[in-house]
Amino acid sequence: MINLKISIITISYNAEKHLERTINSVINQDYNNIEYIIIDGKSKDKTVEIIKKYDSKIDNWKSEADKGLYDAMNKGIKKANGDYLLFMNAGDIFFDNKTVSNIFASASQPQDIYYGETMIVNEDNKLIGMRRLTAPKQLNWKSFKKGMRVSHQSFIARKELSSLYDTKYRFSADFDWCIKIMKKSKKITNTNLIITRYLDGGLTKHNLIPSLKERFKIMQKFYGLPSTLLNHIGLGTKLIFFIIKNKWF
């Protein structure tokens, strides 16, 4: 197997409670060709102190004001030199220290996209459950018609196929970004792995309604209005039950 280089990018802001576990999850991977980048939004807590503690293990980091999450992600992409991109934000960790090796071992030839499942955990890294939307057996650009079937943190994309995030979307630019990449991709592999332990919460959860409105616009752009409206009948019902079950109110 070719020793593919992966750029893992972490975005942080006032993340002193969660960043260290993310850093350790990345730097303790047994894969030997990782470029690690941290983009911090000029945190006011001890986040930068934590980054400096691991300076020798981080290939590139910056702490400066930005125009939001996706602006920071774009800074990370511009700094990345890897063959692949993966965003692992503050609080999120890999399933175990062999995850990156197992991702690239899942196919005999380099792929355009590797993907897998996502586990939801709390601040103590205790399992809450698997992500509501499960990854499809075979992913393609139409798979997101009924929602983001693969978590952003479990979506590894070839850098040359990626674009910058469209910052006109404040909460769902990752949804748009993934679809664009899938439309360009010919080789997409289901790793059949749990890739990420995702920290419950985040920007989308705390801005659920604006996020859903953005996703509707993105779906309409790619899949058309009739298809989007039809799919949202079922999605809306499932979402209501999910919100009630998980007490998101």
Query: Does residue 82 lie within any of the structural domains?
Result: yes
Give the domain range for residue 182.
6-201
Q: Considering its fold, how many domains does the chain have in total? A: 1
Strand pairing report for 93-94 and 113-121: unpaired
Whichever domain contains 125, its CATH number is 3.90.550.10
Query: Does residue 213 lie within any of the structural domains?
Result: no
Q: Model-level pTM?
A: 0.89
pLDDT at 249 over 50: no
Looking at residue 149, its amino acid is: R
pLDDT at 235 over 80: no
How many residues are present in the chain? 249
pLDDT at 238 over 90: no
Query: Does residue 234 lie within any of the structural domains?
Result: no
